[in-house]
Structure 1
Amino acid sequence: MSELNSLTPKQTVHRLDQYIIGQDDAKRSVAIALRNRWRRQQVQPPLREEIAPKNIIMIGPTGVGKTEIARRLANLAQSPFIKVEASKFTEVGYVGRDVESMVRDLLQLAINMVTKDEEEGVTAKAAVAAEERLLDLLLPPVPKQETTPSGADETSRKNEHADVIPLSYNDAFGGETASLANEEQGSKKQTDSAEKTREKLRRMLHSGELDDRTVELSVTTQKPQGPVVEVFSSSGMEDMQSSLQDAFSKIFPGQKHERKLKVPDALEYLKKEEAQRLVDPESVTEKAIRKTEQAGIIFLDEIDKIASRSGSGSGSPDVSREGVQRDLLPIVEGSTVTTKYGPVRTDHILFIASGAFYTNKPSDLAPELQGRFPIRVNLNPLGKEEFFRILTEPENALIKQYTALMATEGIELKFEEEAIQEMARIAVEVNMKTENIGARRLHTVMECVLDELSFDATEREDRTFVVTSEYVQKQLLDISDNEDLSRYIL
């Protein structure tokens, strides 16, 4: 977590600004939450264990950056991150997913992260071992020859308890000494010759002269697992499902078979195999559990869908919603979740919840659950100015993405500023007329504008394409003016 240690709240906000336009309050809140994690690590126990994370609820319509803020935050912190939709869970006993499954999924992501880091740490050793194995395939090592004369062992055993010991090796073995010396000398020459050939092959391998050569390599392929049955309802059943799948993989292990590969491909496969061999699974599991407990982030989307609607009666649909809230409460408060890798405590996992809260409000959540989300942030709807900035400013701006895509076809794609303004205006207009999906509308607008170019790019003679406001209007005006078409196309 070295990257986490070096980031102040202002630095975190600056990093988020590179990808997310606006929503300064939300960025500020998550930046403070991230820094508080580092601060907690500096506090001495036992007080450190008493400091709980300050969970956050983001309130705002879809497409304004709630998920992106949480995802980018996790990338900055190098933390395992998982997004789950609260509406997909149901109360234990109903048909639906067990809420504890999100912690198990988070741990699996952490194990993948730690495994990757550990394998990168042994890359150099794995590369050396892989190269030696590949050279063994190209030039099998010379088998060691037996240098002891056939009668030597028997003679030694006879003389082991004898009163008279031979005066010399020649006396003991007579004329066989010269023959043995010749064999040893021949074996040494053969070994020296093999070593020289091996070093020559090594130089050829490094220079790429062997890239076109094919070698036969023993590779492992995983047999298909047994039938996967999605197990729902009571706690621990999903763990039983994964345990059953593990059992299937042990009963039916991967099969080895010979496969012909080019030398570069064979070397890459051997590197991966050696890296996996050098990584200690127990150490990976231990680090992953600690990373999950201390740095994990769970993003609970659509939390408003499990809140009781304001003013609603005690209808049956609310029973399940309240049940999910009751199941979520101990996870968010801090409890121990059993996984196939071992117990995981959730006390210090950061939970970020989000919801539009159109028909209800955060106060409609269970009071106990509300108390576990002390920070609430409102995200603002996006307008024409924000859409223009989203198209142009971020590191991953759509204009930059499509320019890079067309460059692969040898086409220089340019956008006039008025054209970008027009696309932003049309996106806002369609959002107002139909369902407001926020910045996601820009993806659809861009696809419609560049549809002809994307289709004809390979055959175009003119290698420069300029998008003007007139061209944008030509491509979109009829669709944007027709509300029915807008619903289905834009």
Structure 2
Amino acid sequence: MLLDEIKCSFCQKKRAEVRKIITGPKVHICYDCVNLCAELLEREEFVSSVASYKPQVIFEELNRFVVGQDIAKKYLAVAVYNHYKRLDSRKRGTAVTGSVELTKGNILLLGPTGTGKTLLVETLAKKLDIPLAMGDATTLTEAGYVGEDVDSLLKNLYRAAGNDVEKAARGIIVIDEIDKIARRGSGSTSGRDVSGEGVQQGLLKMLEGKIISIQPDSGKGARNANPVLIDTTDILFILSGAFHGIEDIVQRRVGTRAVGFGVKDTRQIIERNQLRTQVQNADFYKYGMIPEFMGRVPIIVPFNDLTIDDLTYILHQPVNALTRQYQKLLAFDQVELVFTADALRAIATKAHKMKMGARGLRTVIEDIMLDVMYDLPSLENITRCIIDEAVVVDRKPPHLETEPRAASAGK
């Protein structure tokens, strides 16, 4: 058979009609069909990975690492699952059927600091093996001003995807402290709002889904590197913020009375949690977020304040609980670390007063364990260290149990 007569066994195109043809003894395949096969295999792999993580499966996995926040977990599980179903439909060319178009659903996590917002997202990204870039809105400014511009978020995602444009275009960008870019009040006279409304405007194009050019900045001679084009249409944006005081805005709108002084703290927490579930875009506008920005973030996920019971549970139940981490550290010195139930409760109570959520737990426990971690390696024959309520509340030393070493006992 003459070379010009060779046809692709799949599409029947002749050698002259395609870029390349790979020939075999009886079968030939062209360059276009090779690429099509690669896309089909990639799509099937992607579909199988997403299908194995249905919302209930995602929810149960998040439960292993994050305490409470069941409503938030359900929101996230469903939103992420739907997002990646949408990606698959786009690959198949079925994202638009008739007049129905599957649009992207960016997410806003709303709740106090230390309630698990960041941990939930990090856990999701690891489980789904998705490129993840995290940014802090407090560092962002308008282009041309001191600070990072919004394109730096895409650069971080590009690096997290191993400089693979296709992977980056299916990743997740998390922007924390998003409430810090609320615009200033109309009475402000302190100059241009370069870290508020200007940043919101700068993020609009990225959130909506446009092709954005970034300049790779890693490696020698990067200034002369060609720009990289990334389509943000399929990038899921997860925004996170405490929005301190937005409950008061909601309260004025719905006309409920605030819980006064002298009532139990638990009731105040319940009221704030309920108000957070009623938040609307109009409340964010009053807070300082512009309508165009909020219009691109259709899913609002409320997080609850953590109670003392929640904090107590967080201390010892999750897979990576703080008490388990310290127990592992002391195990290297052949010492068993024990926290009594009243000690756990006392630690949680102290952390709750700090109003830092779960982050306060580490501050309290670090303070308690400092002397223990300092002294124990120099002490001999210590086999057990018991932390009780007196250690936490009254600053008393922990109870140490000793046991003769086997060598000493034989003398």
Q: Which range, TM-score by smaller chain?
A: 0.5 to 0.7
> May I ask how many residue pairs the two structures share in their alignment?
296
Match of 1:21 among 57, 67, 70: 67
Is residue 422–residue 472 contact of structure 1 (8 Å, CA) maintained in 2? yes
Residues 1:300 and 2:210 are matched in the alignment: no
Residues 1:382 and 2:306 are matched in the alignment: yes
Per the TM alignment, residue 385 of structure 1 is displaced from its structure 2 partner at its CA by: 0.3
Per the TM alignment, residue 109 of structure 1 is displaced from its structure 2 partner at its CA by: 0.8
Residues 1:447 and 2:369 are matched in the alignment: no
Is residue 179–residue 242 contact of structure 2 (8 Å, CA) maintained in 1? yes
Is residue 81–residue 297 contact of structure 1 (8 Å, CA) maintained in 2? yes
Residues 1:414 and 2:333 are matched in the alignment: no
* Mapped partners of 2:340, 2:87: distance in 1: 50
Is residue 23–residue 380 contact of structure 1 (8 Å, CA) maintained in 2? yes
- Report the counterpart of residue 107 of structure 1 in structure 2: 158
Structure 2 CA distance for partners of 1:420 and 1:54, relative to 1, 3 Å: same
Per the TM alignment, residue 46 of structure 1 is displaced from its structure 2 partner at its CA by: 3.5
* Mapped partners of 2:80, 2:195: distance in 1: 33
Residues 1:43 and 2:94 are matched in the alignment: no
Is residue 59–residue 355 contact of structure 1 (8 Å, CA) maintained in 2? yes
- Report the counterpart of residue 124 of structure 1 in structure 2: none
Where do 4+ consecutive residues of structure 1 move more than 6 Å? none
Is residue 82–residue 297 contact of structure 1 (8 Å, CA) maintained in 2? yes
Q: Secondary structure at the match of 1:63?
A: coil
* Mapped partners of 1:465, 1:65: distance in 2: 30
Q: Which has the larger radius of gyration?
A: 1
Match of 1:470 among 390, 398, 409: 390
1:328-366: CA deviation from partner (whole Å, max 9, x where unpaired): 100111111224473111011111111111256522311
- Report the counterpart of residue 97 of structure 1 in structure 2: 148
Listed as ranges, the gaps of 5+ residues in structure 1 are 112-284, 478-490
Match of 2:377 among 442, 453, 458: 458
Structure 2 CA distance for partners of 1:375 and 1:312, relative to 1, 3 Å: farther
Per the TM alignment, residue 409 of structure 1 is displaced from its structure 2 partner at its CA by: 0.8
RMSD: 2.2
TM-score if structure 2 supplies the norm length?
0.68
Structure 2 CA distance for partners of 1:399 and 1:55, relative to 1, 3 Å: same
Is residue 33–residue 53 contact of structure 1 (8 Å, CA) maintained in 2? no
Is residue 83–residue 236 contact of structure 2 (8 Å, CA) maintained in 1? no
- Report the counterpart of residue 105 of structure 2 in structure 1: 54
1:165-221: CA deviation from partner (whole Å, max 9, x where unpaired): xxxxxxxxxxxxxxxxxxxxxxxxxxxxxxxxxxxxxxxxxxxxxxxxxxxxxxxxx
What code does the residue aligned with 2:376 have? A
Q: Which has the higher helix share?
A: 1
Is residue 449–residue 476 contact of structure 1 (8 Å, CA) maintained in 2? no
Q: Secondary structure at the match of 2:146?
A: coil
Greater Cα shift, 94-103 or 10-19: 94-103
Identical counterparts, % of pairs: 35
TM-score if structure 1 supplies the norm length?
0.57
Q: Secondary structure at the match of 2:315?
A: helix
1:252-283: CA deviation from partner (whole Å, max 9, x where unpaired): xxxxxxxxxxxxxxxxxxxxxxxxxxxxxxxx
Q: Secondary structure at the match of 1:338?
A: strand
What code does the residue aligned with 2:294 have? Q
- Report the counterpart of residue 323 of structure 2 in structure 1: 399
Is residue 140–residue 195 contact of structure 2 (8 Å, CA) maintained in 1? no
Larger RCO: 1 or 2 (CA < 8 Å, sep 6+): 1
* Mapped partners of 2:131, 2:88: distance in 1: 21
* Mapped partners of 1:419, 1:86: distance in 2: 37
Match of 2:120 among 49, 62, 69: 69
Listed as ranges, the gaps of 5+ residues in structure 2 are 1-45, 217-226, 247-282, 398-411
